[in-house]
Amino acid sequence: MSEDTIRVGSLSAERQLTLNASPDHITAGGVVQLVATAARLTGEYDVTWRVEGPVTLPDGGLGITSITGRHHDFGDGDDDEGDGPVIRATLDTSALAVGQWTVRIELQRTGFGDGGEVSRDTVVRASDRFRVSPRPFTAGDDVSVSMRRAAVAPTTDQSLWVAIRNSTANISFNPYIDFIDRVWHDSDPARSALNGHRAHLRRVERRTALPFPHVERYRLLKAATEVFLMINVRTDPGDFRHVDLEQESARLNRDVTVGELEEQFRRYLVDTPTGDGRDLDVLPYLDLVRRALGDVPVVGAGRHDDEASLAFGILAEKLTRPVLIEPIHEYWLECGGLMRTINAITWRFQNRANPHPGRDPLAGVDIDPLRPLNNVLWGWLRDADHRLTEAQRRDEYKHHYGLPPGPSDRRLADTRTRFMGAFHSLLAECLRFYEDDDLTVKIANGFDVLNSLKETHLLLTQGAHNQYGDLPWTARHEFLMAQWILSRAEIRDFLPHQVMVDTPESWMRSVDSMNRLQRWSDVSAQHYRDLAEFAEQLLLGIRFGAWTSVNDPDQAANWARYFRREVQQYCHAYQAVTGQGVHRRAHSPAALGREASNGYARRPQQSVFPG
């Protein structure tokens, strides 16, 4: 507030005050003339000016300057304008924001009354309005300009990608080891966190009874791992209650809520007939599969399905709750030395020396720290006949992805020799798309990404046969158990560890130690874990998206943007492992296939010791 004091001469008449602000519309930085006309006032008054508008001004920041002076005596009969005494001031609008403003004047009596006492009963006010407009640009002005990426409309299949990331995160190692720890410690009160899953654990323990005694701890580990997968893999893909909304909002470039994701997922699903007059809500890709098998009934969707009807047909649960697991996850972990490490430990546990010529690095390692794990390792050895062999897994990798590239030591019926080239061609297109998308003056076209997605999807779905529904589950079950064993403190005491090296998952230290001890590889197990995790998420987004029926390049652009971190981190890990990069310039699928073959030549042999 700015305040001036003016002595208004003794005037006789009724109180009256008017204020005129001129002009009533002014450009920012201009000066407004203020003229207050006082008619028929008597006595002396203090003058107070106030300015009110869109923003609050600090004290003394009004910019009002009195022209008539702070001590001016009009005297009786002063009449500058013919209607009464005049008070003049100017208002500098430089400090005022654009918008509507009101200027007020207030006269408060300060003189003496009839009895000589000071009287402050008389207050006279007046106001007027004016508008401040923005100042137009002139030569020499500094102008700030910012450019943003063009807005992209969301597509309903984005909710599927959120569900894929949520599902793969639920079955990753860290949630798994937390679950096993609750089961492993019988007296731990945290075991109550299992809630209603105890019945599942008891049933699976009975079903997985082993034909040999004295392996109770191993049997519990095997049953608990099975229950963990049952709980987390078969969850409703449309359940987004445990999604990290802040992270998903950043990926989707908009604020999202659980309700919005659920509604978007419901709109993405389509109705597929079961054959008995009912419909199921399924993914568009699975609807295409169901309609291609129109003569095969869908079973398990009703309450009255008997065991005979379940013997032939498509299980409804397979359509509504698909298993979001890719065996490429186990392929990369196997390349990193996970199974090779545990095989070497169990070989030494049996007091067997390295069968290959040369010094055995484990011969001089004290086996005493492994005593607390005796029951688990003994069960792992005895149960070998019930686990997948390395040859079985390798044949399935070849069937699904043509991995590893090059000739096989076995005669196989069907392989995906072009898959790796198509997949890496897609990644190269994504990297080029990111370059265009980062240019805010250019709208990146997702058409090339869409074509690559279609090609990769076709090759990927051609391998979804034979053991696709069973081997990935079994392999994930066995690899999780191996990871848990290698993460134990007993293994850490058995193998020399580099304690200052930070790894996101504790089993990696054991693999790195064994690779270094045996001189198998100097590549960190973390790179192989990254390849496994990111390749799985990318391929699930390709496999379960109905890309062959998509003609909108914006959908492919959204897919590339959403999985940008996975694409770039996969490319980095692939280069760290193979020494060959997924280049940003176009490559033919054949050339990329040769690149993958050359990279795998750097990889150590699959296994040193028998499984």
Query: Where exactly are the structural domains of the chain?
Result: 2-133, 164-320, 327-353+380-600
Q: What is the rounded distance in angstroms from the CA atom of residue 342 to the CA atom of residue 346?
A: 6
Q: How confident is the model at residue 119, as a pLDDT?
A: 52
Report pLDDT digits (tens) over 369-408: 888 899 999 999 999 988 999 999 999 999 999 988 766 6
Question: How far is Cα 326 from Cα 168, in angstroms, rounded to an integer?
Answer: 10
- Would you say residue 9 has pLDDT above 50? no
Give the H or E element holding residue 55: none
CA distance 405 to 419: 10
Closest CA to 234 of 327, 325, 302: 325
Average pLDDT over every residue of 447-473: 89
Of 135-149, 331-345, 437-451, give the lowest mean pLDDT range.
Answer: 135-149
At 595, is the pLDDT very low, low, confident or very high (cuts 50, 70, 90)? very low
pLDDT of residue 307: 53
Mean pLDDT, rounded, of the chain? 81
What burial letters (b/e) apply to 27-49, b meaning 16+ CB within 10 Å? eeebebebbbbbbebbbbbbbbb
Q: Where are the beta strands (DSSP E) in 444-555?
A: none
Task: Give CA angle at 164 (159, 165), nearest 5°.
Answer: 100
Report the pLDDT value the prediction gives residue 553, as an integer from 0 to 100.
Answer: 93
CA 443/CA 148 separation, integer angstroms: 11
pLDDT of residue 509: 93
The pLDDT tens digits for 270-316 are 998 887 778 889 999 999 988 888 778 888 766 555 555 555 678 88
Kindly state the tokens that stand for 26: 């002014």
Digit-coded pLDDT (tens) for 237-250 = 778 988 999 999 99
| 3-state SS assignment for residue 434 | helix
pLDDT band for 60, please (50, 70, 90 cuts). low
Contact in structure between 16 and 38 (CB atoms under 8 Å): yes
- Judging by DSSP bridges, how do beta strands 298-299 and 314-315 pair with one another? parallel
- CA dihedral (462, 465, 470, 474) in degrees, to 10, reads -50
> Can you give the pLDDT at residue 234?
67
Check residue 36 and give its pLDDT. Answer: 87
Give the DSSP letter of residue 96: P
- Residue 59 has a CB neighbour count (10 Å cut-off) of 8
Helix (H, G, I), strand (E, B) or coil at 262: helix
pLDDT at residue 468 is higher than 70: yes
Q: How many other CB atoms are found less than 10 A from the CB of residue 310?
A: 11
Q: Which of 5-9, 57-61, 217-221 has the lowest mean pLDDT?
A: 5-9
- Determine the pLDDT at residue 197: 65
What does the pLDDT look like over 259-278, one tens digit per residue?
999 999 999 999 988 877 78
Q: Tell me the C-alpha distance between 326 and 475, whole Å.
A: 10
* Mean local confidence (pLDDT), 547-569: 95
Handedness of CA 162, 164, 165, 167 (dihedral sign): positive
Q: How confident is the model at residue 527 (pLDDT cuts 50, 70, 90)?
A: very high
- The CA R_g of the chain, rounded to the nearest whole Å, is 39
Residue 452: the pLDDT is 96
Per-residue tokens: 610: 């028998």
Non-local CB neighbours of 451 within 8 Å, separated by 6+ positions = none
The predicted model gives 38-60 an average pLDDT of 78
pLDDT tops 50 at residue 602: no
Tracing tokens 């009004």 back to the chain, one arrives at 62
Cα angle: 538, vertex 540, 543; to 5 degrees = 110
DSSP for 549-592?
A: G---HHHHHHHHHHTHHHHHHHHHHHHHHHS----SS---HHHH
At residue 183, the pLDDT reads: 84
Residues 6+ apart with CB under 8 A from 102: 51, 52, 53, 127, 128, 129
**The dihedral of CA 172, 174, 175, 180: what is its sign?**
positive
Mean pLDDT for the stretch of residues 89-98 = 88
Cα-flanking dihedrals φ and ψ of residue 182, to 5°?
-70, -35
Question: What residues does 590 pair with on adjacent strands?
Answer: none
Query: What CATH architecture does domain 2-133 belong to?
Result: Sandwich (2.60)
